[in-house]
Amino acid sequence: MAGDYVVSAHDHPRGFPLDARGRQAGLTRPARVARGLLGAALALLALGLLGSANDASATTLLDYVTFDGIDYIRWADEPGRPLTRGDRGPEFAVVECSFGEDTRGCPYGVDAAAAFLPSGTRVYVVRGYPTNFRLAAVWQDRIFLYQAWRNPRAKVGGDLYDIVGKVRAVDVRRGEPPLAAATKPAPITSSPDVAALVEMIVTGAVRAPQAHAVAEPCYWLTLWLTDGTTLGRLYFRETSELMGGVNVPGEFARILERYLGPRSD
Protein backbone atom coordinates (compact mmCIF):
# COMPACT_ATOMS: atom_id res chain seq x y z
CA MET A 1 0.00 0.00 0.00
CA ALA A 2 1.29 3.44 -0.78
CA GLY A 3 0.46 6.99 0.16
CA ASP A 4 1.29 9.75 2.61
CA TYR A 5 -1.23 8.81 5.27
CA VAL A 6 -1.49 6.74 8.39
CA VAL A 7 -4.06 3.97 8.42
CA SER A 8 -5.31 3.39 11.93
CA ALA A 9 -8.60 3.38 13.78
CA HIS A 10 -10.12 6.84 14.26
CA ASP A 11 -12.27 5.35 17.01
CA HIS A 12 -9.84 2.81 18.39
CA PRO A 13 -9.18 2.58 22.13
CA ARG A 14 -6.19 4.90 22.29
CA GLY A 15 -7.62 7.60 20.01
CA PHE A 16 -4.81 7.76 17.47
CA PRO A 17 -5.43 9.64 14.19
CA LEU A 18 -6.90 8.07 11.10
CA ASP A 19 -4.58 9.84 8.71
CA ALA A 20 -1.88 12.44 8.51
CA ARG A 21 -4.30 15.00 7.06
CA GLY A 22 -5.63 15.77 10.51
CA ARG A 23 -7.56 18.92 9.64
CA GLN A 24 -9.26 17.35 6.63
CA ALA A 25 -10.31 14.35 8.69
CA GLY A 26 -11.67 16.51 11.48
CA LEU A 27 -9.12 15.19 13.96
CA THR A 28 -7.69 17.08 16.88
CA ARG A 29 -5.00 14.70 18.15
CA PRO A 30 -1.58 16.43 18.17
CA ALA A 31 0.70 15.77 15.24
CA ARG A 32 3.33 14.45 17.62
CA VAL A 33 1.31 11.24 17.99
CA ALA A 34 1.63 10.54 14.27
CA ARG A 35 5.34 11.28 14.45
CA GLY A 36 5.72 8.89 17.35
CA LEU A 37 4.05 6.14 15.33
CA LEU A 38 6.14 6.74 12.24
CA GLY A 39 8.83 4.35 13.47
CA ALA A 40 6.48 1.41 13.23
CA ALA A 41 5.36 2.52 9.79
CA LEU A 42 8.92 2.65 8.54
CA ALA A 43 9.61 -0.75 10.07
CA LEU A 44 6.77 -2.19 8.01
CA LEU A 45 8.04 -0.48 4.89
CA ALA A 46 11.56 -1.78 5.46
CA LEU A 47 10.17 -5.29 5.41
CA GLY A 48 8.71 -4.61 1.99
CA LEU A 49 5.19 -5.20 3.24
CA LEU A 50 3.71 -1.85 2.31
CA GLY A 51 4.56 0.71 -0.31
CA SER A 52 7.98 1.65 -1.56
CA ALA A 53 10.75 1.64 1.02
CA ASN A 54 12.55 4.21 -1.11
CA ASP A 55 9.80 6.81 -0.76
CA ALA A 56 9.84 8.67 2.53
CA SER A 57 6.27 9.82 2.02
CA ALA A 58 4.92 6.27 2.20
CA THR A 59 4.13 6.27 5.92
CA THR A 60 1.37 3.72 6.18
CA LEU A 61 0.73 2.31 9.63
CA LEU A 62 -1.76 -0.48 10.10
CA ASP A 63 -3.99 -1.14 13.08
CA TYR A 64 -2.79 -4.69 13.63
CA VAL A 65 -2.72 -7.52 16.14
CA THR A 66 -0.43 -10.55 15.92
CA PHE A 67 -1.07 -14.01 17.29
CA ASP A 68 0.76 -17.28 16.53
CA GLY A 69 2.68 -15.58 13.73
CA ILE A 70 -0.45 -14.36 11.93
CA ASP A 71 -0.93 -10.63 11.41
CA TYR A 72 -4.51 -9.35 11.45
CA ILE A 73 -5.56 -5.82 10.50
CA ARG A 74 -8.57 -3.61 11.01
CA TRP A 75 -9.87 -0.78 8.83
CA ALA A 76 -11.63 2.04 10.67
CA ASP A 77 -13.98 2.62 7.74
CA GLU A 78 -14.99 -0.97 7.02
CA PRO A 79 -18.49 -0.47 5.54
CA GLY A 80 -20.05 -3.72 6.72
CA ARG A 81 -22.15 -4.07 9.84
CA PRO A 82 -20.33 -3.96 13.18
CA LEU A 83 -19.93 -7.11 15.20
CA THR A 84 -22.35 -7.72 18.06
CA ARG A 85 -22.20 -9.87 21.15
CA GLY A 86 -23.91 -12.61 19.18
CA ASP A 87 -20.87 -12.77 16.90
CA ARG A 88 -18.48 -13.28 19.79
CA GLY A 89 -17.35 -16.81 20.50
CA PRO A 90 -15.03 -18.21 23.19
CA GLU A 91 -12.01 -16.27 24.38
CA PHE A 92 -9.01 -16.88 22.14
CA ALA A 93 -6.14 -14.80 23.51
CA VAL A 94 -5.09 -11.68 25.41
CA VAL A 95 -3.00 -8.79 24.09
CA GLU A 96 0.27 -8.86 26.02
CA CYS A 97 1.87 -5.66 24.74
CA SER A 98 0.89 -2.59 22.75
CA PHE A 99 3.05 -0.48 20.49
CA GLY A 100 0.92 2.48 21.49
CA GLU A 101 2.02 1.98 25.10
CA ASP A 102 5.60 0.80 24.60
CA THR A 103 7.23 1.65 21.27
CA ARG A 104 10.54 0.01 22.17
CA GLY A 105 9.41 -3.06 24.07
CA CYS A 106 6.60 -3.96 21.68
CA PRO A 107 7.86 -3.62 18.10
CA TYR A 108 6.03 -5.01 15.10
CA GLY A 109 6.43 -8.79 14.87
CA VAL A 110 6.10 -9.62 18.56
CA ASP A 111 3.54 -12.33 19.25
CA ALA A 112 0.41 -11.35 21.20
CA ALA A 113 1.13 -7.71 20.31
CA ALA A 114 -1.10 -4.93 19.03
CA ALA A 115 -0.54 -1.58 17.39
CA PHE A 116 -3.15 0.32 19.39
CA LEU A 117 -5.19 -2.01 21.58
CA PRO A 118 -3.97 -1.74 25.18
CA SER A 119 -2.27 -4.66 26.85
CA GLY A 120 -4.75 -6.88 28.62
CA THR A 121 -7.36 -6.56 25.86
CA ARG A 122 -9.24 -9.84 25.46
CA VAL A 123 -9.59 -11.32 22.01
CA TYR A 124 -12.32 -13.75 20.99
CA VAL A 125 -13.34 -16.17 18.27
CA VAL A 126 -15.75 -14.76 15.68
CA ARG A 127 -18.59 -17.23 15.37
CA GLY A 128 -18.74 -18.95 11.99
CA TYR A 129 -15.12 -18.22 11.09
CA PRO A 130 -11.75 -19.84 11.86
CA THR A 131 -9.35 -17.94 14.07
CA ASN A 132 -6.72 -17.82 11.33
CA PHE A 133 -9.09 -15.52 9.42
CA ARG A 134 -10.99 -13.40 11.94
CA LEU A 135 -10.70 -12.31 15.56
CA ALA A 136 -12.84 -10.02 17.71
CA ALA A 137 -11.13 -7.75 20.23
CA VAL A 138 -13.26 -6.30 23.03
CA TRP A 139 -12.35 -3.06 24.77
CA GLN A 140 -14.72 -0.98 26.90
CA ASP A 141 -17.71 -2.99 25.66
CA ARG A 142 -16.85 -2.30 22.03
CA ILE A 143 -16.06 -5.09 19.58
CA PHE A 144 -13.33 -4.57 16.97
CA LEU A 145 -13.02 -6.89 13.97
CA TYR A 146 -9.53 -7.91 12.90
CA GLN A 147 -9.02 -9.94 9.73
CA ALA A 148 -6.00 -11.89 8.50
CA TRP A 149 -3.44 -9.93 6.55
CA ARG A 150 -0.32 -12.15 6.55
CA ASN A 151 0.10 -15.79 7.53
CA PRO A 152 3.50 -17.43 6.99
CA ARG A 153 1.80 -20.84 6.82
CA ALA A 154 -0.71 -19.87 4.14
CA LYS A 155 -0.18 -21.60 0.79
CA VAL A 156 -3.26 -20.33 -1.06
CA GLY A 157 -5.66 -17.46 -0.54
CA GLY A 158 -8.20 -19.75 1.08
CA ASP A 159 -5.73 -20.21 3.94
CA LEU A 160 -6.00 -16.47 4.60
CA TYR A 161 -9.64 -15.76 3.79
CA ASP A 162 -12.50 -18.11 4.69
CA ILE A 163 -14.88 -16.74 2.07
CA VAL A 164 -16.04 -19.69 -0.04
CA GLY A 165 -19.83 -19.59 -0.27
CA LYS A 166 -19.90 -16.47 1.92
CA VAL A 167 -19.57 -13.58 -0.59
CA ARG A 168 -22.75 -12.08 -2.04
CA ALA A 169 -21.27 -9.08 -3.86
CA VAL A 170 -18.02 -7.21 -4.49
CA ASP A 171 -17.45 -3.45 -4.75
CA VAL A 172 -14.42 -2.14 -6.61
CA ARG A 173 -12.90 1.35 -6.75
CA ARG A 174 -9.76 2.69 -8.36
CA GLY A 175 -7.07 3.88 -5.98
CA GLU A 176 -6.43 3.25 -2.33
CA PRO A 177 -7.83 4.65 0.91
CA PRO A 178 -8.44 7.41 1.71
CA LEU A 179 -8.54 8.59 -1.92
CA ALA A 180 -10.70 5.68 -3.06
CA ALA A 181 -13.38 6.71 -0.56
CA ALA A 182 -14.05 9.83 -2.63
CA THR A 183 -15.14 7.76 -5.63
CA LYS A 184 -18.34 5.81 -6.13
CA PRO A 185 -17.78 2.03 -6.05
CA ALA A 186 -18.67 -0.15 -9.00
CA PRO A 187 -20.83 -2.97 -7.62
CA ILE A 188 -20.27 -6.49 -8.92
CA THR A 189 -23.45 -8.42 -8.20
CA SER A 190 -23.46 -10.99 -11.02
CA SER A 191 -23.30 -14.37 -9.30
CA PRO A 192 -20.97 -15.92 -11.90
CA ASP A 193 -18.54 -12.99 -11.69
CA VAL A 194 -18.58 -12.90 -7.88
CA ALA A 195 -18.00 -16.67 -7.78
CA ALA A 196 -15.14 -16.36 -10.28
CA LEU A 197 -13.41 -13.64 -8.25
CA VAL A 198 -13.76 -15.62 -5.03
CA GLU A 199 -12.45 -18.78 -6.71
CA MET A 200 -9.37 -16.94 -8.00
CA ILE A 201 -8.70 -15.49 -4.54
CA VAL A 202 -9.00 -18.75 -2.60
CA THR A 203 -6.95 -20.77 -5.11
CA GLY A 204 -4.30 -18.10 -5.74
CA ALA A 205 -0.82 -18.97 -4.53
CA VAL A 206 0.40 -16.99 -1.51
CA ARG A 207 3.91 -15.62 -1.82
CA ALA A 208 5.88 -13.04 0.12
CA PRO A 209 4.15 -9.66 -0.44
CA GLN A 210 6.02 -7.42 -2.85
CA ALA A 211 7.00 -3.81 -2.32
CA HIS A 212 4.84 -1.50 -4.41
CA ALA A 213 5.70 1.90 -5.84
CA VAL A 214 3.71 4.88 -4.61
CA ALA A 215 2.15 5.55 -8.01
CA GLU A 216 1.46 1.91 -8.88
CA PRO A 217 -2.13 1.42 -10.09
CA CYS A 218 -4.29 -0.37 -7.56
CA TYR A 219 -7.92 -1.11 -6.85
CA TRP A 220 -9.75 -1.18 -3.55
CA LEU A 221 -12.01 -4.22 -3.21
CA THR A 222 -14.79 -4.65 -0.68
CA LEU A 223 -16.16 -8.16 -0.40
CA TRP A 224 -19.67 -8.15 1.05
CA LEU A 225 -20.27 -11.33 3.02
CA THR A 226 -23.65 -12.95 3.46
CA ASP A 227 -23.74 -12.07 7.17
CA GLY A 228 -23.48 -8.34 6.40
CA THR A 229 -19.81 -7.93 7.32
CA THR A 230 -17.13 -6.98 4.82
CA LEU A 231 -13.53 -7.70 3.90
CA GLY A 232 -11.58 -4.85 2.31
CA ARG A 233 -8.30 -5.47 0.50
CA LEU A 234 -6.10 -3.75 -2.07
CA TYR A 235 -5.42 -5.35 -5.44
CA PHE A 236 -2.31 -4.35 -7.40
CA ARG A 237 -3.00 -4.54 -11.13
CA GLU A 238 0.56 -4.68 -12.45
CA THR A 239 1.66 -7.58 -10.26
CA SER A 240 -1.76 -9.31 -10.05
CA GLU A 241 -1.42 -9.41 -6.28
CA LEU A 242 -4.12 -9.11 -3.66
CA MET A 243 -2.93 -7.56 -0.41
CA GLY A 244 -1.38 -10.29 1.72
CA GLY A 245 0.60 -11.81 -1.13
CA VAL A 246 -2.24 -13.66 -2.90
CA ASN A 247 -1.43 -13.98 -6.59
CA VAL A 248 -4.40 -14.12 -8.95
CA PRO A 249 -4.61 -14.67 -12.75
CA GLY A 250 -5.10 -11.91 -15.29
CA GLU A 251 -8.80 -12.70 -15.60
CA PHE A 252 -9.23 -11.16 -12.14
CA ALA A 253 -8.35 -7.69 -13.45
CA ARG A 254 -10.42 -8.16 -16.59
CA ILE A 255 -13.56 -8.79 -14.55
CA LEU A 256 -12.92 -5.73 -12.37
CA GLU A 257 -12.23 -3.45 -15.32
CA ARG A 258 -15.40 -4.57 -17.09
CA TYR A 259 -17.38 -3.04 -14.23
CA LEU A 260 -15.14 -0.02 -13.69
CA GLY A 261 -15.19 1.02 -17.33
CA PRO A 262 -12.63 3.32 -18.96
CA ARG A 263 -10.56 5.65 -16.82
CA SER A 264 -11.76 9.25 -16.71
CA ASP A 265 -8.22 10.62 -16.78
**Residue 167 to residue 154: CA distance in whole angstroms:** 20
β-strands 88-94, 218-225 pairing: unpaired
Does 1 map to a domain? no
Does 176 map to a domain? yes
Q: Which of 97, 95, 105, 94 is nearest to 39 (CA)?
A: 105
Number of domains in the chain: 1
Does 16 map to a domain? no
Instruction: Indicate the pTM of the whole model.
Output: 0.78
Say which range, 81-90, 190-199, 201-210, has the weakest mean pLDDT: 201-210
Does 238 map to a domain? yes
Q: How far is CA 87 from CA 42, 118, 124, 134, in A?
A: 35, 22, 10, 11
Does 54 map to a domain? no
Within the chain, strands assigned E span: 63-67, 70-74, 88-94, 97-98, 113-114, 122-126, 134-139, 142-150, 167-174, 186-188, 218-225, 230-236, 241-242, 246-247
β-strands 70-74, 113-114 pairing: unpaired
- 239: domain range? 154-265
Does 76 map to a domain? no
Compute φ and ψ for 216, nearest 5 degrees.
-65, 135
Looking at residue 61, its pLDDT comes to 65
What is the three-class DSSP state of 85? helix
Contact present, 123 and 95 (Cβ < 8 Å)? yes
Does 18 map to a domain? no
Average the pLDDT over 34-59 and give the result: 36
Q: Which of 40, 74, 96 is nearest to 142 (CA)?
A: 74
Looking at residue 121, its pLDDT comes to 97
- Give tens-digit pLDDT for 117-139: 999 999 999 999 999 999 999 99
Average the pLDDT over 2-20 and give the result: 33
Does 217 map to a domain? yes
Ranked by mean pLDDT, the top range of 20-34, 172-186, 236-250 is 236-250
Average the pLDDT over 196-203 and give the result: 98
pLDDT of residue 27 exceeding 50, the answer is: no
